[in-house]
A and B are shown apart, each in its own frame.
Chain A
Amino acid sequence: MGQVTLQGRMQAPNPIADDGDEEHFCSTCAFGSVCLGSGVDKVALHDLHCLVEHVGAYRTGDAIFRTGERFNAIYAVRAGAVKTRLVDLEGRELVLGFHLPGELIGLDAIDPETYPCDAIALGEVEVCRFSFPALATLATRAPSIQLELFRRMSRDIGNAALLAGDYSADERLAAFLIVLGKRYADRGFPVHTLTLAMSRGDIANYLRLAAETVSRVLRRFQDRGLIHVDGRHVTIAKPAELFDLARPILQR
C-alpha cells in the first residue's frame, strides 16, 4: 500500500460538519432559522435538542425509510445527499427529488401516517432524526417551530411542481443546476461549485429525460462556457446566462 499522508489535508467545504451545542444548532440545521432572530426560548431549543438523534452513516443505496413503513419521525440531512423515489410493480423507479444538507425528508408522511416513498442515501449520508410525536408536542408550545414546519411543507410541494411543465431539456437542466446551486449556497457551501451526489441516471429520471440527453445538454453548456464539468464536480461559470436559460421555469 502507498503510505498515506493525512497531514496537509484541508477541511472539506462541508459546513454541516460541526455538531452544535446546547445553545446553537449545527450550522446548517433544518431548524437553524427558527432560532435565528425569532427568539425561540432557550427551553424550547433545549427540548428540540433532546428529541434529535444523529443517525448514520448510511452508505450508497441504504434506505433511511421505505414506502409503507409507519411514519414516526422526520429527518434532516446532516451530510451527503438523499433521493426520494417510488418503485412501481414492474420495478421501475421514479425519482421524486434530492435532499441536501439542512433539508427535511419525511414531511409528506405526516398525513398518511406511513412513508409514501423510499429515501435512499447517495454516497455517505448522516441524518438527524426528529421523533414526530415529540416534535408535534413541542410545536404546540413553540409556534415558530410549527411555522417553520408548515413553510417547509409548502416549499417541498413547490419544488415538486418545478419540473412538471412542458419544458425543453435545456431549460430543465439549467433550472436543475441553478436551483441545486442556490440550495447548496443557502447552506453555506461554496457558491457556483456543486458536487453532484446523484448519478446521471437519477438526474435523467428526475428531469424525465434520457441519460444521454442529460450528458449531451451538459456538454453543450460546457462547450458554450456556461459550466465546467470535471467528474462529478460542476462549476457554474456564467450563472446569469444559465439563469436566462432557466427563466421560463424559475419565473413561472
Chain B
Amino acid sequence: MDNSRAVPVFDRALVARYDVDGPRYTSYPTAPHFAGDVGETSLRRAILDSNEEPIPREISAYVHLPFCLSPCFYCGCSRIITRDRTRIGGYLARLYREIETVSVLFARDRSLAQLHFGGGTPNFLDADQLVELIDALGRHFTFSRRADREFCVEIDPRFCDGDYARRIAEAGINRLSIGVQDFDPDVQRAVNRVQSIEQTREVMLGAREAGVRSINLDLIYGLPRQTTDSFARTLEAVIALHPERIAAYGYAHLPERFPAQRQIDKFELPDASTRLGLLQLAVERLTAAGYRYIGVDHFALPGDDLSRAADAGTLHRNFQGYSTHAACDLAGFGMSAISHVGDTYSQNARDLPGYYGALDQGHLPAVRGLHLSDDDRLRADAIQQLMCAGTLDIAAFETRHLVYFGTYFQRSLEALRPLAADGLVECTPERITVTPRGQFLLRNIAMCFDAYLGAANGPVRYSRAV
C-alpha cells in the first residue's frame, strides 16, 4: 500500500516530458515572494510568541559566511569574492552582535538541535575563528546533547585539510557537506574550480577520524563540458570515497540573475538530452552502489540518519534540502540568512552595507519576509507531506486543518489529473500517493499545490525541474 518505500523508477521519457521550470520548495511560499513589510519587529514578536507554546520547538540555527577566495562560475549563492582574509573581522563582529541580540529572545530551555554553517565558504574562516564561533553559539544557546543533533559545516576542500576538519569536529561538528561538483579537470577549469580527489579525501579522513558520522558530497550535473563518460568517472570516484550522503543538483543557467554565470560559455553546456542522461546516470550508478534516493537531488546510504528518517516518515524539507529534524524554529544569522519562526519568515539584508548598517545602529538586520496565511500553511503542509512522506492522508489532513480536501483543493486535484494519468501519482478518496515513477518529479507534483504559480506577481525565474 505504501508506495513511498518502493524503489523509485527513473522513467527517462516521462522525466523529459515534465522538464519545466519550477521551485525546489525548500520553503513554501518560496523566498521570491518575501516582501518588505516583515522585518525586525515581526521577527522579535515571532520569537517571543514561539516561547509561549506549551512545549516550545527546538531551535535550528543557520549561519551564513558569505566570503569566498575565488569565484566558482556556476554559483547562485549570496557570496562575496575577496582574497583579503582580514575582511572577516568586521563581519564576525556584526555576526556576534546579531547572535547576542537574537539568542536572548529565545527561552533558555529550548535546545539547539541543528546547526548549519553555509556560504559562501564557511572555511574562509580559519579553524580558530570557526571553533570560536561554534563555542560562542554554545554559550548563547543551549546545545542539544542528544546523539541525533545535526551540526554541519559546508566545506570547500581546496582551502581545508584534515587538521581543520579534526579541529571543528572536536568543537562539536558531526556532519560535513563538501563541495565537489565534478572531478573532471576539463569541467573544473570551465567552472573555475580545480580540486583534486586527494584534497577531498584528506578532509574526509580527518573528519572521520574525529568522529564525524555523516559526510555529504555535492555534485552538479549540466555543467559545461560534462559528458556522460566524464560524469561516469566522477561518480565512480565519488562512490569510492564512500560519503554517507550525495546531493546531485541540476545546474541552473540564469546569467541575468547570477553575474558569475556570464563567465560560462553557454555553447559548452550539455543539451537537454545529455543533461537528462547525466541525471539518469547518477541515479543508476548511485542506486547500484547502494545509495537510496531520498527525494529532489538527494541520496543517502541506508544506515544514514536521512534514510532512517525517510523510513520512519519523519523527513523534513528545509532550506538545506532534506533534514531529519522536523518542526524546529529556524534562526538565520548573517547576510541574507533566512529565519523561520512560527508562521513568520524573515530574511536579513542581502548586502554587507545593509547587514552592517542595521546592526551598527542597534537593530536586527531582517528586512523582508512573509507571514504565512492560513492558505499558505495548508499548502505548505500538503507539499511537505508529498515531498517528504511521498503520501498524503486526506482524512488526517482534513482533521488537522478543518477543510474538506476535495473542495478546498479542487483546482490542485484537477491539475494533478494529467499527472495521475501519466502514472506520477495515485489519487484515491483516501490518499494521494507518489508512485515510484513520480519520485523523480516531486517538484512537478508540488507545483499543483502552489497558489503563487501563474499569479500576476511579476516574473520569478526558477531553475528547471530536472
- Contacting pair B52 A199 (CB below 8 A): yes
A201 with B404, Cβ < 8 A, contacts A2-B376, A4-B373, A212-B109 known = no
Roughly how many angstroms separate A234 CA and B108 CA in the complex, as a whole number? Answer: 23
In the complex, whether B198 has a CB less than 8 A from a CB of chain A is: no
- Contacting pair B53 A200 (CB below 8 A): yes
Q: Which chain A positions have C-beta within 8 A of B408?
A: 5, 7-9
* Residues from 44 to 61 in B contacting A, C-beta threshold 8 Å: 51-56
Roughly how many angstroms separate A2 CA and B373 CA in the complex, as a whole number? Answer: 8
Picked from A3, A9, A10, A218, the residue with its CB within 8 Å of the CB of B54 is A218
A200 with B56, Cβ < 8 A, contacts A3-B451, A10-B398 known = yes
- Contacting pair A200 B51 (CB below 8 A): yes
- Contacting pair A2 B452 (CB below 8 A): yes
Q: Which chain B positions have C-beta within 8 A of A201?
A: 51-52
In the complex, whether A165 has a CB less than 8 A from a CB of chain B is: no
- Contacting pair A10 B402 (CB below 8 A): yes
Picked from A8, A12, A231, the residue with its CB within 8 Å of the CB of B407 is A8
Q: CB-nearest residue of chain A relative to B407? A: A8
Roughly how many angstroms separate A8 CA and B451 CA in the complex, as a whole number? Answer: 15
In the complex, whether B107 has a CB less than 8 A from a CB of chain A is: yes
Q: Which chain B positions have C-beta within 8 A of A229?
A: 54-55
Question: Which one of B55, B107, B374, B407 has the greatest number of beta carbons of chain A within 10 Å?
Answer: B55
In the complex, whether A142 has a CB less than 8 A from a CB of chain B is: no
| A-contact 0/1 string along B400-412, CB 8 Å cutoff | 0011111111110
- Contacting pair A8 B452 (CB below 8 A): no
Q: Which chain B positions have C-beta within 8 A of A218?
A: 54-55
Roughly how many angstroms separate A7 CA and B408 CA in the complex, as a whole number? Answer: 6
In the complex, whether B2 has a CB less than 8 A from a CB of chain A is: no
In the complex, whether B29 has a CB less than 8 A from a CB of chain A is: yes
Q: Which chain B positions have C-beta within 8 A of A104?
A: none
A7 with B407, Cβ < 8 A, contacts A12-B402, A215-B55, A218-B55 known = yes
Q: Which chain B positions have C-beta within 8 A of A7?
A: 407-408, 410
Q: Which chain B positions have C-beta within 8 A of A13?
A: 402
Picked from B55, B108, B375, B398, the residue with its CB within 8 Å of the CB of A5 is B375
Question: Which one of A5, A229, A232 has the greatest number of beta carbons of chain B within 10 Å?
Answer: A5
- Contacting pair A9 B55 (CB below 8 A): no
* Residues from 205 to 255 in B contacting A, C-beta threshold 8 Å: none
- Contacting pair A219 B55 (CB below 8 A): yes
Roughly how many angstroms separate A10 CA and B406 CA in the complex, as a whole number? Answer: 12
In the complex, whether B79 has a CB less than 8 A from a CB of chain A is: no
* Residues from 106 to 141 in B contacting A, C-beta threshold 8 Å: 107-109
- Contacting pair A3 B455 (CB below 8 A): yes
Q: CB-nearest residue of chain B relative to A12? A: B402
Roughly how many angstroms separate A3 CA and B455 CA in the complex, as a whole number? Answer: 8
Roughly how many angstroms separate A3 CA and B404 CA in the complex, as a whole number? Answer: 17
- Contacting pair A4 B375 (CB below 8 A): yes
- Contacting pair B398 A203 (CB below 8 A): no
| B-contact 0/1 string along A199-219, CB 8 Å cutoff | 111110000000110111011
Picked from A2, A12, A199, A212, the residue with its CB within 8 Å of the CB of B375 is A2
Question: Which one of A2, A7, A229 has the greatest number of beta carbons of chain B within 10 Å?
Answer: A2
Quote the shortest CB–CB distance from A230 to chain B (angstroms). Answer: 8
A211 with B109, Cβ < 8 A, contacts A2-B379, A9-B408, A12-B402 known = yes
Q: Which chain A positions have C-beta within 8 A of B405?
A: 8
Quote the shortest CB–CB distance from A158 to chain B (angstroms). Answer: 25
Binding site for B on A (CB under 8 A): 1-5, 7-13, 196, 199-203, 211-212, 214-216, 218-219, 222, 229, 231-232, 234
Having A215-B55, A218-B54, one finds 5 other A-B pairs with CB under 8 Å, namely A2-B455, A4-B374, A9-B403, A214-B54, A234-B54
Binding site for A on B (CB under 8 A): 29, 51-56, 107-109, 373-376, 379, 398, 402-411, 451-452, 455
What are 25 A-B contacts with C-beta separation under 8 Å?
A: A1-B373, A1-B455, A2-B29, A2-B376, A2-B452, A3-B455, A4-B451, A5-B375, A8-B408, A9-B403, A10-B403, A10-B404, A11-B402, A196-B54, A200-B54, A202-B52, A203-B54, A211-B107, A211-B109, A216-B109, A222-B55, A229-B54, A229-B55, A231-B53, A232-B54
